[in-house]
Structure 1
Amino acid sequence: MREPGAKAATSVTLRINGRALTVPAGTSVAAALALAGDLVSRSDLAGRPRGPLCGMGVCFECRATVDGVPEVLTCLTPCREDLEVVTDA
Structure 2
Amino acid sequence: MTQRIINHPILDKIDDTNVISFTFNNKELKGLNNESLAAALLANGIRTLRVHEESGAPRGFYCNIGHCFECRVTIDGQQGVRACLTPLKEGMNVKSGETFLTSVRDWRPDNE
TM above 0.5, one fold? yes
Provide the aligned length of Structure 1 versus Structure 2.
81
Residue of structure 2 in register with 1:14 after alignment: 22
Residue of structure 2 in register with 1:27 after alignment: 35
Look up the equivalent residue of 1:43 and give its one-letter code. V
Quick check: 2:32–2:40 contact (8 Å CA) kept in 1?
A: no
Aligned-residue RMSD, C-alpha: 1.5
Q: Which has the larger radius of gyration?
A: 2
For residues 25 and 88 of structure 1, the distance between their equivalents in structure 2, rounded to whole angstroms, comes to: 24
For structure 2, the residue ranges without an aligned partner over 5 or more in a row are: 1-16, 99-112
Q: Provide the TM-score with structure 2 as the length reference.
A: 0.67
After the TM superposition, which parts of structure 1 deviate over 3 Å for at least 4 consecutive aligned residues? none
Q: Provide the TM-score with structure 1 as the length reference.
A: 0.83
Is residue 2:96 matched to residue 1:87? yes
For residues 80 and 30 of structure 1, the distance between their equivalents in structure 2, rounded to whole angstroms, comes to: 12
For structure 1, the residue ranges without an aligned partner over 5 or more in a row are: 1-8
